[in-house]
């Protein structure tokens, strides 16, 4: 591990023994992190830090704990190596805290990119660990420039790996040997979509419409549509032009107020729309200004997974029934957000039609809410082992 900068902890901590899942020491530590984060003045400036602090409140962790009745018979798998993504600043912290709840000895590689959030959160973790010796001896944060040699070294000691960052990273890390029983939780490239009920949009009063538009904004624009869970395609049930205009009009006015539209994104979206007009079954490109582009499709494109969009660029298509959703769901599909539809109805279609995609169905506005069940994995259970006795 020569060349790795140890931000917190040291290499010899990798010999520590695991803890039981939802151990009180872990729960208290995380609750402590929460109150420190929530009291931080910076929380006001960084909504992602505030969201992290909110997620790890004592009450919410206790609820997760209650959801794991067999916790007394579960132990962390051992060393968990986290390869955090380079572009979502707070993700490394979530990954780490999941590992803490699972009872693992956590080695987190933080991104080399300089996000202010990284430093702020690391400082909170460092300070909090001082009062939690049992967690402190199981927490290692490292940073190093791209170097497969160092990564290989960490992998060799790994009993579990949390691999964020997409297909390429997953392939690269998995090619490196780990402990024979190592479990990998891989977060590959995923896409997401949204199902809207046109009638429900028509019925929505101003308040509800506003919340819907803000929710959609948070799911998409907030991360420039680059998060795997950001919907790119909107499917319309009970479709009508009036409903579409009402919904998108509300989204546009939120985006006009809140989104920082960069000039390079404006020309990029224009180019993208012109290209799509040639290569895809596009009926209309609708844009009143450059904040929002809507590409009305008249049929399902052949390679639905190749669709891209960022900075306020969406595809939309009418479907006659929920079942029709199946034809655009591939194994790359992660999240379905919905409005005016029952979540169970969507899940039911996925199960009944035995689809390879869709791991989560959440209301519009919750696409980004990360939790211990993510991408179809029950992370705390996956990072721990169950000890049976008969």
Partner 1 sequence: MTLDEILDIPPYSLRKDDKEKLLLARLNELTELHRENCPEYARVYGAMGFTERAGSVEEIPFLHTAMFKEFDMMSVNPSEVVKTLTSSGTSGQKPSKIYLDRATAQAQQKALARIMSDFIGSKRIPMIILDCPSTLKDRKKFSARGAGILGFSVFGSKRIYAFDDDMKLDVDSLREFLGKISKNTLAGGGADLLLFGFTFMIWEYFCKAAEKSGLDLSNGILIHGGGWKKLANEAVSPEEFRRRLHDVCGISRVHDYYGMAEQTGCVYMQCEYGHFHASTFSDVIMRRPGDFSVCRFGERGIIQTVSVIPQSYPGHSLLTEDEGEILGEDDCPCGRAGKYFKVYGRLKGAEVRGCSDTYERS
* Footprint of partner 1 (CB under 8 A): 83, 85-88, 91, 111-113, 145-148, 151, 164-169, 172, 189-190, 222-228, 261-268, 270-271, 273-278, 282-285, 288-291, 310-311
Question: Of 38 and 285, which CB lies nearer to partner 1 in the complex structure?
Answer: 285
Alpha-carbon distance of 291 to 280, in angstroms, equals 22
Pick from 317, 259, 251, 263: which is nearest to 287 by CA?
A: 251
- For 91, the token pair is 């993700």
Question: Of 275 and 371, which CB lies nearer to partner 1 in the complex structure?
Answer: 275
* Minimum distance from residue 377 beta carbon to partner 1 (Å): 16
* Residue 134, Cβ density class (10 Å: 0-12 exposed, 13-18 middle, ≥19 buried): middle
Question: Of 134 and 214, which CB lies nearer to partner 1 in the complex structure?
Answer: 214
Alpha-carbon distance of 169 to 162, in angstroms, equals 11
Alpha-carbon distance of 73 to 71, in angstroms, equals 5
* Minimum distance from residue 222 beta carbon to partner 1 (Å): 8
* Minimum distance from residue 268 beta carbon to partner 1 (Å): 7
- For 225, the token pair is 């549509």
Question: Of 201 and 232, which CB lies nearer to partner 1 in the complex structure?
Answer: 232
Question: Of 21 and 228, which CB lies nearer to partner 1 in the complex structure?
Answer: 228
Cα dist from 106 to 78, 95, 97, 110, 173, whole Å: 8, 9, 9, 12, 17
Cα dist from 40 to 8, 28, 43, 44, 256, whole Å: 20, 18, 5, 8, 29
- Return the number of other C-beta atoms located less than 10 Å from residue 67's C-beta: 13
* Minimum distance from residue 41 beta carbon to partner 1 (Å): 22
* Minimum distance from residue 178 beta carbon to partner 1 (Å): 17
* Minimum distance from residue 57 beta carbon to partner 1 (Å): 24
Question: Of 15 and 279, which CB lies nearer to partner 1 in the complex structure?
Answer: 279
Are 225 and 310 contacting, i.e. CB atoms less than 8 angstroms apart?
A: yes
Question: Of 278 and 389, which CB lies nearer to partner 1 in the complex structure?
Answer: 278
* Minimum distance from residue 307 beta carbon to partner 1 (Å): 13
Are 84 and 107 contacting, i.e. CB atoms less than 8 angstroms apart?
A: no
């Amino acid at each position: 591990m020569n060349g790795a900068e140890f931000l917190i902890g040291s290499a010899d901590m990798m010999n520590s023994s695991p803890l039981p899942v939802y151990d009180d020491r872990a729960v208290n530590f995380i609750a402590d992190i929460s109150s420190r984060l929530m009291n931080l003045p910076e929380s006001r400036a960084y909504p992602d830090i505030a969201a992290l602090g909110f997620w790890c409140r004592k009450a919410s962790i206790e609820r997760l704990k209650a959801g794991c009745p067999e916790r007394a018979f579960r132990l962390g798998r051992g060393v968990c190596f986290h390869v955090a993504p380079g572009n979502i600043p707070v993700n490394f912290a979530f990954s780490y805290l999941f590992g803490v709840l699972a009872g693992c000895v956590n080695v987190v590689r933080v991104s080399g990119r300089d996000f202010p959030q990284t430093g702020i959160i690391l400082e909170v973790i460092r300070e909090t660990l001082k009062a939690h010796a049992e967690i402190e001896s199981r927490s290692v944060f490292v940073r190093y420039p791209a170097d497969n040699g160092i990564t290989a070294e960490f992998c060799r000691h790994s009993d579990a790996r949390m691999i964020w960052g997409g297909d390429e990273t997953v392939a690269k890390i998995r090619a490196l040997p780990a402990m024979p029983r190592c479990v990998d939780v891989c977060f590959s490239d995923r896409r997401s979509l949204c199902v809207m009920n046109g009638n429900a949009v028509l019925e929505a009063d101003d308040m509800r419409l506003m919340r819907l538009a803000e929710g959609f904004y948070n799911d998409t624009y907030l991360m420039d549509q680059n998060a795997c869970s950001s919907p790119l395609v909107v499917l319309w049930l009970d479709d009508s032009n009036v409903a579409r205009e009402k919904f998108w009009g509300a989204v546009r006015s939120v985006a006009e107020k809140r989104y920082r539209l960069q000039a390079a994104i404006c020309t990029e979206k224009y180019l993208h729309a012109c290209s799509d007009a040639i290569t895809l079954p596009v009926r209309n490109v609708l844009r009143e200004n450059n904040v929002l582009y809507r590409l009305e499709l008249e049929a399902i494109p052949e390679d639905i997974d190749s669709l891209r969009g960022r900075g306020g660029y969406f595809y939309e298509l009418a479907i006659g029934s929920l079942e029709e959703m199946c034809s655009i769901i591939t194994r790359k599909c992660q999240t379905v957000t919905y409005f005016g539809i029952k979540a169970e109805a969507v899940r039911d279609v996925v199960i009944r039609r035995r689809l390879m995609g869709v791991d989560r169905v959440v209301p519009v506005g919750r696409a980004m809410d990360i939790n211990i069940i993510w991408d179809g994995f029950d992370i705390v259970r996956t990072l721990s082992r169950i000890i049976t006795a008969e």
